[in-house]
Amino acid sequence: MQTDAVVSGSLRNRLVLILIGGAAVLAIFLFFAVRSYAVQVAQRGQDNILLASVTSMLDAAAFRDGVAEVDIPYAAFSMLNTPADDRVFYAIYQDDTFLSGYNDLGLLGENQGGQPSFQTRDYRDTSVREVTASRTLIGADQRTEIQIALAQTQDALADTLDQISRNAALLGLGFFALAVALSIWATQATISPLSRLTNSVTRRGPQDLSPFTKPVPQEMAPLVTSLNSLMGRLDQSLSQSEDFIAEAAHRVRTPLATVRSYAEATLLRVNKEENREAMRSMVKAIDESSRAAGQLLDHAMITFRADHLEREELDLVDLVRDLILRLTPVADMKDLTLDLRGEDTVTYAGDPILLQNALRNMIDNAMKYSPADGAIEISVRSEPVVAVTVSDQGPGFPLDEIETLTARFTRGRNADNTIGSGLGLTIAQDVATAHGGEITLRNREEGGACVILSL
Amino acid sequence: MRYLIALILGFLASTSFAQEWEDQRLFNDGAGGDALRVLSSTDTNLFAPLIEAYVAENPDTAVEYLVTGTADIDGLFREAPERFDVVISSAMDLQLKLANDGFALALDDVAHPEWAEWRNSLFAFTTEPAAIVINTAAFEGLPVPSSRQDLIGLLRDRPDLFAGRVGTYDIRRSGLGYLFATQDSRASETYWRLMEVMGGLDVRLYCCSGDMIDDLTDGTIAVAYNVLGSYAEARVESGERFKILDLSDFETTMMRTALVSKETTQVAEAASFLRAVIAYQSDDASNASPLPTLAQDGDRGAIPLDPATMTFLDSLKRKKFLEEWEDALIQN
């Protein structure tokens, strides 16, 4: 079965990318917004100074002896001093006739209504900010208009803008860095409930189909609800089939016992050798079926108990000894000896019924595959982990099947002429898993199989 | 032969710009190539040590030193900026306007205090006060004035002694005289009263500090107003019989400035010359210069290098100022 999901993109990456992309766009926007605002403010600052300067020059214009005069105040140029030593140009006109200053510095046009006008333009190979303003002088019998153009280079302004651009860039970068950190954090925080859910699903035991009860964010509630309902149905159908199997096995076993006793009775009465042979085969088949039914029952019981494990303190050696005692008659029939080795007492907290079942299946298996007159060694130890080892002198496991033998209804290739359902090792495995341990299969060097139940 | 013709043509060309220099000297004429042409208002004897120090360091460069008045410098240089490599003048306003009008080359690698340079193209290298100098013999038995007010009183009281014996710059001809006069007029109204008194005493007008000091030395005049302090000091030290007044009211201080012509063909040499001048004038320890050094603390009393200095160069304003000055001083 395919367990790997088909992956298309990543929610986390998508979220981080969207957030970082948004932050980058915002940071760039912030940079340009701050810069353009600063440009406006700085330009307005220069304009204000230029206007103040040109106004003070215009204020110094007056008629003297009937002649218009402009006595430029010292402060007019003084206030134009900048840290970058900007150059200053001016031209004074009277009714559009050049009076003084730089005669190539023209007046700006569209200066109607007496409002000063500003313009950035090229003058003498450099960019200057020019202001033009005018004032009408009214004399005794004349009126004249004094117009002044004043221009200043923009080096200090450029320096200021450089400074501001640097600061704005730093601001944008800082904002971006903060936004990246925040978006990573936010993504992490958003994704983490999903990871937690994934973790808790992954950590579950194979039999655990109970619903998720931990609180999850609202957006994940439908997912968890569906998951819970899916698992509920799965659980129900599983237990139904287990019930069905148990019920079926039970129903089959009782009539089988009746059939067997009839068959045995019949065997005693039949004299013809070929009929006796047929009857013996019949009894053997009935035994096999009955045993399989028993194991199915065991398995169903183990599946149930494993879900509701009841641990109690017990002595494993005692448990094994007890088992050996009960199995000795069967072993004697095959001329097998059961040897108990290892420590005298090994205490362990576990479900005695399950452990007994698992060990019985293991010993049972060993007895089935052991040649006659063989010895089966059973040893119990507590170090390094609590483990029970059952070894026989049989043919051992086929090496290429060793990994798959514990699956349900799987039987080894060499099991053809032995009775079995393929459930024995599965039961042992389920019990080990329920106790948090495992089953290890291997072949002994001197021949024979060895099954270790470590807990 | 061709070289000879070129040489002759070159000579003719240079003489066709025939110019009456106050002084003209070629330093290190042994060096080949074009000489660095320095246009200056500073007397040769005051500036020679600097040039000699420079050519000692740069034996491959010849320096032609051309001296004329500050107003002439401005006119000559504006007319043909390509003919001169370095311009040195005491008329800060004219120099600043040259820089403002784009005649000066910006030198970015000259380390100089912010207050002593403008746009990295105009560099101040001396700090020199305008001085009032009196002939001690003429003031025999008279109190030494300690302010302009004192001087006005003294001149007014003794027209017999001072008539025809006071001198000052003819600010119509001298750029530096105009700078001093305009700055004085900004500082105090006393200036105009002094000018009126001097006008009443039939003032003598001079083109240059040197001439004024010469006349003061031989007793032709008893008071010289707004003489360059450095020139006077150079003579006082040589034991001449006059005294620089130490006035309590105000002092006009100018800074001698230098710039490299934007159209110079010898940028590297001109720049290194300017740097050498600045270094020479900034180094107090080994200074053997007859010129005062640049006040290292940024003397706040000095006329600042900022656009306001150009204010009085406005033709309307200049015309008005000169009219007032003439009204006050020339009362025939």
Q: Determine the residue type at B169.
A: Y
**Residue B306, in any domain of the structure:** no
Q: CB–CB of B317 and A101 under 8 A?
A: no
Sign of CA dihedral A18, A20, A26, A32: negative
**Residue B184, in any domain of the structure:** yes
Q: String of b and e for B31-43 (b: at least 16 CB within 10 Å)? A: beeebbbbbbbbb
The CATH number linked to B7 is: 3.40.190.10
**In terms of CA atoms, which chain A residue is nearest residue B100?**
A87
**In terms of CA atoms, which chain B residue is nearest residue A71?**
B317
Domain identity same for B198 and B325: yes
Domain identity same for B164 and B279: no
Mutate to test the interface with A, among B95, B98, B303, B317 (most CBs of A within 10 A): B317
**In terms of CA atoms, which chain A residue is nearest residue B122?**
A85
- Residues in B touching A92 (Cβ below 8 Å): 314, 316
- pLDDT, residue A272, reads 86
Domain total of chain B: 2
Mutate to test the interface with A, among B316, B319, B324 (most CBs of A within 10 A): B316
Domain identity same for B145 and B117: no
Domain identity same for B186 and B223: yes
- pLDDT, residue A415, reads 60
- Give Cα separations from B213 to A163, A197, B141 (angstroms): 52, 103, 22
Q: Determine the residue type at A227.
A: L
Mutate to test the interface with A, among B115, B306, B322 (most CBs of A within 10 A): B306
- Residues in A touching B101 (Cβ below 8 Å): 124
Nearest to B307 among A69, A80, A125 (CB): A80
Mutate to test the interface with B, among A87, A99, A125 (most CBs of B within 10 A): A87
Q: CB–CB of B100 and A87 under 8 A?
A: yes
As given in the structure block, the two tokens for residue A78 are 């003084």
Residue B152 reports pLDDT greater than 80: yes
Q: Is B118 on the interface with A (CB under 8 A)?
A: yes
Element of type H or E holding A438: strand A438-443
Residue B46 reports pLDDT greater than 70: yes
Mutate to test the interface with B, among A71, A72, A99, A148 (most CBs of B within 10 A): A72
Closest CA to B231 of B90, B74, B55: B90
Domain identity same for B65 and B100: yes
The answer to whether B65 and B44 are in contact (CB under 8 A) is: yes
Residue B40 vs residue B2, higher pLDDT: B40
**Taking chain A (455 residues) in consecutive chunks of 10 residues, what is each chunk's mean pLDDT?**
75 88 92 90 93 95 88 93 93 92 85 79 92 90 91 92 90 92 90 86 76 84 90 84 77 83 86 86 84 78 73 85 84 83 84 84 82 84 84 80 69 61 78 83 81 84
* Homologous superfamily, domain A310-455: Histidine kinase-like ATPase, C-terminal domain (3.30.565.10)
Domain identity same for B60 and B80: yes
Please provide the distance, in angstroms rounded to a whole number, between the alpha carbons at the two ends of chain A: 29
**Residue B101, in any domain of the structure:** yes
Nearest to B320 among A71, A73, A76 (CB): A71
Nearest to B320 among A69, A76, A124 (CB): A69
ipTM: 0.88
Q: Is B219 on the interface with A (CB under 8 A)?
A: no
- Residues in B touching A153 (Cβ below 8 Å): none
**In terms of CA atoms, which chain A residue is nearest residue B304?**
A78
**Residue B309, in any domain of the structure:** no
Residue A244 vs residue B262, higher pLDDT: B262
- Residues in B touching A78 (Cβ below 8 Å): 306-308, 311
- Interface A–B counts its CB contacts (< 8 A) at 64
- pLDDT, residue A418, reads 62
Domain identity same for B69 and B144: no
| CA torsion, ordered A46, A52, A56, A57, to nearest 10 deg | 40
Domain identity same for B113 and B134: no
- pLDDT, residue B15, reads 47
For A116, phi and psi rounded to 5 degrees? -65, 145
Residue B280 reports pLDDT greater than 70: yes
Q: Determine the residue type at B137.
A: A
Residue B323 reports pLDDT greater than 50: yes
**Residue B231, in any domain of the structure:** yes
A166–chain B nearest CA distance, Å: 22
Q: Is B108 on the interface with A (CB under 8 A)?
A: no
**Residue B288, in any domain of the structure:** yes
Nearest to B308 among A77, A89, A99 (CB): A77
- pLDDT, residue A176, reads 93
Closest CA to A57 of A87, A96, A85, A99: A99
The answer to whether A279 and A270 are in contact (CB under 8 A) is: yes
- pLDDT, residue A207, reads 66
Sheet bearing A143-153, strands edge to edge: A97-101, A88-94, A143-153, A126-138, A117-123
Nearest to A99 among B309, B316, B320 (CB): B316
- Give Cα separations from A153 to A84, A147, A204, B115, B271 (angstroms): 10, 20, 77, 19, 25
Domain encompassing residue B192 = 130-252+315-329
A86–chain B nearest CA distance, Å: 7
- pLDDT, residue A438, reads 84
What mean pLDDT comes out for the span B142-155? 92
Closest CA to B91 of B184, B174, B210: B174
Residue A110 vs residue B49, higher pLDDT: B49
Return d(Cα A44, Cα A55) in angstroms, integer.
16
Element of type H or E holding A55: helix A11-59
Task: Give the least confident one: A45-59, A190-204, B132-146, B206-220.
Answer: A190-204
- Residues in A touching B118 (Cβ below 8 Å): 85
Domain identity same for B152 and B241: yes
What is the tally of helices (H) and strands (E) in chain B? Answer: 12, 13
Domain identity same for B13 and B122: yes
Across chain B, mean pLDDT equals: 87
Residue B91 reports pLDDT greater than 90: yes
**Residue B108, in any domain of the structure:** yes
Q: Cα A432 to chain center, whole Å?
A: 31
Domain identity same for B215 and B261: no
- pLDDT, residue B286, reads 58
The domain limits of chain A are 15-163, 208-308, 310-455
Domain identity same for B139 and B211: yes
- Residues in A touching B259 (Cβ below 8 Å): none
Residue B10 reports pLDDT greater than 60: no
Q: For residue A213, what is the DSSP state?
A: -
- pLDDT, residue B298, reads 58
- pLDDT, residue B16, reads 44
